[in-house]
Structure 1
Amino acid sequence: MDAWQLDALTRRARRLAAPGQRRILGIAGAPGAGKSTLAAELVAALGGSAVLVPMDGFHLAQAELRRLGRADRKGAPDTFDAVGYAALLARLREPAPGVVVYAPAFDRALEEAVAGSVAVAPDVPLVITEGNYLLHDDNAWAPVRGFLDEAWFLELDPVVRVRRLVDRHVSFGKERPYAERWVRDSDEANARLVALGRHRADLVVPVAVGPG
């Protein structure tokens, strides 16, 4: 994402972070589109006015995925605790005075969610949440969109996105042939589902990338 585009998105997020009312900004998009990178950059730019609560903190544990026979489709909609995620968003929309809400996060090195990783103080005006299925309208995911004051959908050239996904899996210890198969058979199946929610976004962001 170029500097001009990031600056424009930061200005838009800053308007949501006005003090006096809790708002939630959702950033959706296919795996590898750059959601977590953009969310982290926005939080850094907004300082103490924003906190990042990732959807990936609601991944089911690896042991539970094996029990369900879904370990080979980790990242699909049914491999998350969508009800728990929606319940957290409901709490975050209505902060209680003096009460810090603790949210989970996903540790890519462990490949597991870690509870209590993110502290959300009641006076933080903006929560930024990012993930694949914020705009998914099937089953337990349907209520999520209603908790978002604004939703953005990131679009990245599929060739670039797939290359980044493979490289990311390799960087976390996967062999490249395994990473390529996983992206083809799992991540891209998820990407097709994610694309169905594009029309529910307030803003579609075509991610600009530099050469290389």
Structure 2
Amino acid sequence: METSDLAALTDRARRLGADGRRRVLGIAGAPGAGKSTLAARITEGLQGRAVLVPMDGFHLAGAELERLGRADRKGAPDTFDAAGYVALLRRLRHPEGQEPVYAPAFDRALEEPVAGSVRVPADVPLVVTEGNYLLLDEGPWAPVRGLLDEAWFLDADPGLRVSRLVERHVRFGKPRPYAERWVAGSDERNARLVERHRARADLVVRLG
């Protein structure tokens, strides 16, 4: 199934959490597809009945990527704490008591994850999570799809997606030639991997 109607998407997310039990909605897509923007709009549209928990909070710290020799591949599947993300999703699906759960976020200005950034109250019925690798069926990412009550794949025009990525890197301080090389190499390799798993989504979303 495909859709491009933001109001219909918001209503679909509202119905997902309508019975009051904790549900998790995942929004997957390639780098630069607009996942964080869509997830934020859906969350805002639900007016306090949803919290956004991004996958990017589980980026490994820069120092650890250097130690592992993976800094030149930052953003690839093995540059995240996938097991930590899975453990958080399990906590979010089955909250205990009335205490909130705290999740990390990624600070693009610092280019580092920041712990305890996102507060998820126990009574919020819907968690919206977004990221590249929610639909992967291999390695430590494989359990993620089973922890999502519904998964959407955000499909974006390739040219627009690449342009967004380059501008994002430039906006956060990268020289344009470096940004263009990074997007053409690392980001596009990751995009091809993400695209191969789109069939595992319940819904394909195309927004202008």
Shared fold per TM-score greater than 0.5: yes
Deviation per CA, 1:30-62, whole angstroms, max 9, x where unpaired? 000000000001111101100000000000000
Q: Secondary structure at the match of 1:127?
A: strand
Q: Report the number of matched residues.
A: 205
Which residues of 2 match residues 18-167 of structure 1 at below 5 A?
Answer: 18-167=18-167
Distance 1:161 1:54 in 2: 19
Identity of aligned residues (%): 74
- Superposition RMSD on alpha carbons, in Å? 0.8
Question: Larger deviation: 91-100 or 73-82?
Answer: 91-100
TM-score, scaled relative to structure 1: 0.95
- CA-CA distance at 1:143 after TM superposition: 0.2
- CA-CA distance at 1:96 after TM superposition: 1.2
Structure 1 runs (4+) greater than 6 angstroms displaced: none
- CA-CA distance at 1:17 after TM superposition: 2.2
Report the residue type matching 2:30 in the other structure.
A
Report the residue type matching 2:138 in the other structure.
D
Q: Secondary structure at the match of 2:113?
A: strand
Report the residue type matching 2:52 in the other structure.
L
- CA-CA distance at 1:19 after TM superposition: 4.3
Match of 2:196 in 1: 196
Which residues of 2 match residues 182-193 of structure 1 at below 5 A?
Answer: 182-193=182-193
Q: Is there any run of 5+ residues in structure 1 with no aligned partner, and where?
A: none
1:13 aligns with 2:21: no
- CA-CA distance at 1:20 after TM superposition: 2.2
